[in-house]
Each structure stands twice: as structure tokens, then as C-alpha cells.
A and B are shown apart, each in its own frame.
Chain A
């Protein structure tokens, strides 16, 4: 790496570019995907493992993730749990929309600057609206 500290120009990174919708949703796709891979699948495993473990295990899961009725620690983690659940549903809808955008880009469509920016912005509108609708349904159901 003798070249590393020379005065040769470095390849530009995030701070160089002017932010645009395509760049934002590309980054969001990676962030939401990896977030779901660790936090989402971790929570899903805990959930299904708690059901398999029996009523007491499931009650512990609910206390720490949702209701917060198992002491001070669970009261704190239950707030985080609700934020996590809403965050994960948003992450899913965002990742799904940008994933569908990838399918369109994979067939070679949607690269025109204006269409690309429009559909990129639309994925964010979709994910926020779908998350709001989903939780409105769950809480009012």
C-alpha cells in the first residue's frame, strides 16, 4: 500500500456526491436488509422459540417486547420493543419496495433520470404509508 498516502486522487465517497433519491433508497435498501437480517430474524426466532417453550416463555417474551409488566427492565425494553417492531415493519415495506425497484432495474428499465428519481421517492412514500396503515389496522382491529 505504498500508494495509500500519495497525492493521487482518491475515489469519491458519500460526502462528495449531491444526495438524490436513488442514492438514498440504495443505501436504505442495504440498511433495512441488514437490519432485518440481525434484529428482525433474531426477534422472529425469539418469538417462535418462546411459543415452542410454553406459556411461561411466551409471557416473558411479551413482557420484554410489548407489555413491560415484568419489572423496571422490561418496562424499558418494551418501549424499545415497540419502536423495533414499528421500525421492522417499515424496514420490510421499504426493502420490499426497493427490492421491486431492483427487479425493474434488472430488466434494464427505469434508468432515465427523472423516472429513476420518481420511483425512488415513491418507495419511501409507499413504505411510510404501508407502515402507518398496517399499525392503524393492528391497533384498531
Chain B
């Protein structure tokens, strides 16, 4: 392998052109959470009761159902990235890295799907 140019030696090896993507998406989803989570907290606090009928009726409404779907997309994206950074800081063995890679790439998407399917089921009837 020749020495090549300095750009040729590093091309394809790292985060070139994508270095800020993770950081920026973490901020973008943070702004989303800044709106969505207070909406959820205030809405739940304002509900007259927290029995099944009241809560089910609230989730089934268009705006709360939309907000909850967005919450599952947004919070799991944000949480996935935060947990990833935490794991990168603390896990140094190869086996652990593989386990962490599986964890952050599978669990959040499975959880997100379960949450969204649940909201759709509530909103569109069935239960």
C-alpha cells in the first residue's frame, strides 16, 4: 500500500462529513422533547381523573395521539443517542462493544414500534 495523499489515507476511515450529525440530531430531538414532554406532563396533570375510561378517551383524541406517536419517535431517538454516548465512555472490551451495539440498535426501535402500535390501537379502536 502506497503512502498516497494525506486525504487518501484517512478517507473512509472516520466521520468525515458526518461528524456533526450525531451531535446535531441530539440537539434537534432535545428541542422536540422540550415541547412534547411538557405537553404530556401538563395534559396528564389536567385530566379530571386517571381511570381507564378517562385516560383511554384522552389518548384516542387526534392531538394527544399524534403527540404520543411523536414522543415515541423523538424520545427513543434522543435516548438511544444518549445511551450510546454513555456506553462508548464506559465500555472498552470488544465483547461489551458488540453487546452495546446490539442494545442501542435494536431495543429502541422495537420499543418505539410497540409504543406507536399501542397508540394506533387506542386511537383507531379495537380495545
Contacts and interface: CB of A to CB of B under 8 A. Distances in A.
B109 interface: no
A99 B30 contact: yes
Nearest to A47: B55
A98 to B, nearest CB: 11
Contacts of B76: 41
A109 interface: no
B79 to A, nearest CB: 4
Contacts of A34: 82-83, 86
Contacts of A59: 52
Interface in A30-55: 30, 33-34, 36-38, 41, 44-45, 48-49, 51-55
Contacts of A2: none
A141 B45 contact: yes
Nearest to A62: B50
Contacts of A122: none
B80 to A, nearest CB: 8
A44 B115 CA distance: 8
Contact of A41 (B45, B52, B59, B111): B111
Interface residues of B, number: 31
Contacts of B68: 48
A42 to B, nearest CB: 8
A103 B26 CA distance: 11
Contacts of B97: none
Given A30-B86, A34-B86, A41 B75 contact: yes
A92 interface: yes
A89 interface: yes
Contacts of A103: 27, 30
A112 interface: no
A62 to B, nearest CB: 8
A92 B37 contact: yes
Given A41-B75, A62-B50, A106-B27, 15 more contacts: A33-B82, A33-B86, A37-B83, A38-B83, A44-B75, A44-B115, A45-B111, A45-B114, A48-B59, A51-B56, A52-B121, A92-B41, A103-B27, A134-B45, A141-B45
28 contacts: A33-B79, A34-B83, A36-B79, A37-B79, A37-B82, A38-B83, A41-B75, A44-B71, A45-B111, A45-B115, A48-B115, A48-B118, A49-B118, A51-B52, A51-B122, A52-B117, A52-B118, A52-B119, A52-B121, A53-B127, A58-B52, A58-B55, A59-B52, A96-B34, A103-B27, A134-B45, A137-B45, A141-B45
